[in-house]
Amino acid sequence: MKEKFYILLKEHFINLESKLNQLDAVIGDGDHGSTLLKGLSAIPNSELPPDKAFKAETGGASGSLFSILIGAIDKGIENSSNFGEFLTNASNRISMIGEAKEGDKTMLDALIPAAKASLNDPKNSLEEASLAAREGAKKTVTMPAKKGRAKYVENAGIGHMDPGAFSTSEIISFVCNYIRIENEKTL
């Protein structure tokens, strides 16, 4: 089930690569989509666990932070009933390592709301996490960046969606949909 998931996620990000690079070009260095795709492409071909394969291929700060999200997603695929807990643990680690919090215009603006929504409504956790992640990413458009390269651009990136929050919402929404479909198959 996992190998299929990572192949499908990679294919999804092939379609998002250009959009993510464009989002990142406005407030970053323009390679966010390419970096994520590089890491996701490494997972199915590696003997390493998915988070380690992703991190080894991408390197850098964003590679390290997104590998934590990949690790949480990997656990969620195996045990969707604890998905909110896995997302919460990932958001806590990312917050600590990146010295960021919700509202700083980072991936945490999608991840933290998804984790909270998943914990608050375990029965509908997948759907609620997906919706909360997407809403959190949208909110970054009006936020000034307090972390990363975006804080140095004009108006601290206000008026532009954070590419990390957008890609995080896409990953969370994709995994939630995948788990839901797989669970329906087993009923």
Task: Output the average pLDDT for the chain.
Answer: 93
Q: What is the pLDDT of residues 128-162, one digit of tens each?
A: 999 999 999 999 999 999 988 888 888 889 999 99
Q: How confident is the model at residue 67 (pLDDT cuts 50, 70, 90)?
A: very high
The pLDDT, as a whole number, for residue 45 is 87
Name the pLDDT band for 122 (thresholds 50, 70, 90).
low
Quick one: pLDDT band at residue 187, thresholds 50, 70, 90? low
Read off the pLDDT of residues 25-57 as tens digits, 9 standing for 90 and up: 999 889 999 999 999 999 998 999 999 999 999
User: Where is average pLDDT lowest: 12-21, 95-104, 106-115, 149-158?
Assistant: 149-158
Q: How confident is the model at residue 180 (pLDDT cuts 50, 70, 90)?
A: confident
pLDDT at 1: 63
- CA gap 119, 36 in Å, rounded: 27
* pLDDT recorded at residue 6: 96
| Total domains in the fold of the chain | 1
Domain enclosing residue 136, as ranges: 2-186
**pLDDT given at position 181:** 87
At position 9, the amino acid (one-letter code) is L
What average pLDDT score do residues 103-124 get? 90
Which CATH number do you get for residue 10? 1.25.40.340
Band of residue 125 on the pLDDT scale cut at 50, 70, 90: confident
> Do residues 107 and 165 lie in contact, with contact meaning Cβ atoms separated by under 8 Å?
yes
pLDDT band at 102 (very low <50, low <70, confident <90, very high): very high
Interatomic CA distance for residues 89 and 86, integer angstroms: 5
Q: DSSP secondary structure string, the chain?
A: -HHHHHHHHHHHHHHHHHHHHHHHHHHS-S-HHHHHHHHHHHSTT-SS-HHHHHHHHH-HHHHHHHHHHHHHHHHHHH-GGGHHHHHHHHHHHHHHHHT--TTSSSTHHHHHHHHHHHHH-GGGHHHHHHHHHHHHHHHGGGSPP-SSGGGGSGGGGTTS--HHHHHHHHHHHHHHHHHHHHHHHH-
